[in-house]
A = this chain, B = another copy of it.
Amino acid sequence: MSGIVVQNIERAAPEVIDGLAACGVATVHEAQGRIGLLAAYMRPIYSGARVAGSAVTISAPPGDNWMVHVAIEQLKDGDILLLAPTSPCEDGYFGDLLATSAQARGCKGLIIDAGVRDVRDLKEMDFPVWSKRVFAQGTIKASLGSVNVDVICAGALIRAGDVIVADDDGVCVVRRADAASVLEKALAREAAEEGKRRRLAAGELGLDIYRMREKLAAMGLVYE
């Protein structure tokens, strides 16, 4: 079932993608009903990046990064590469040369359930990566994988063209077809939070703002 490159994938609208990036991972995750997070071990190689893009997915054999070259040809401006190995692997599939190539094609970043290297160069290039590991271990180019097929990456199902949102909190996936409605909910959530933030900053308590006292008392909370 490997050895397939799906060439024409659908993508969400750029303004929706940009809107999701601005909302960030935590808000998007909440807005779509607390689903879509990748495992907590997926960490950014440097802090401060916040991106969203359409997933170009790579299913790769362990220790073999050949398919990354194949995937880069499929990139369109604003896409995000996402790689899942077919068995657990920490090798460094990706470094500064591949980042140079991907960035030249408009790629905004990489999500990889494996290792990455040349992280100092990647930071200088402003090419963010969320990975399981930083590891210089080299890979080979011997076996086929697939591009733009469904993959399980860090415990989440990703389909080519899904919107990936990533920031310092981790990585979240939004189904392409849901992107616009999730953005709408995320923006509503942000608006609602803004008022609460001001009240909380002024010293009001969540206990009062959210009217929790009665319910807590009813459940038996005792103040000593």
Q: How many residues of chain A are within 8 Å of chain B by beta carbon?
A: 93
Closest to A85 in B: B63
B202 touching A5 by the CB < 8 A rule?
no
Quote the shortest CB–CB distance from A132 to chain B (angstroms).
9
B46, B90, B104, B134: the one contacting A201 at CB < 8 Å is B104
- Whether A177 is near chain B, meaning CB under 8 Å from some CB there, is no
Interface string of A78-104 (1 = CB under 8 A from B): 000000001111111001111011011
Which B residues lie within 8 Å of A30 (CB)?
138
A224 and B69 within 8 A (CB): no
Chain B residues with CB under 8 Å of A191's CB are none
Within 8 A of B (CB), among A124-149: 133-138, 140-144
Q: Does A156 contact B (CB under 8 A)?
A: yes
Chain B neighbourhood of A176, CB < 8 A: none
Residue A181, interface by CB 8 Å? no
Residue on B nearest A210 in the bound complex, by CB: B69
- A residues touching B (Cβ–Cβ < 8 Å)? 1-7, 24-26, 29-30, 33-35, 37, 39-40, 43, 46-48, 50, 61-63, 66, 69-70, 72-73, 86-92, 95-98, 100-101, 103-105, 115, 117-120, 123, 133-138, 140-144, 150, 152, 155-157, 167-170, 172, 193, 196-197, 200-203, 205-207, 210, 212, 216, 219-224
| 6 extra A-B contacts, CB within 8 A, seeds A4-B222, A40-B135 | A69-B207, A69-B212, A101-B206, A103-B201, A140-B143, A142-B143
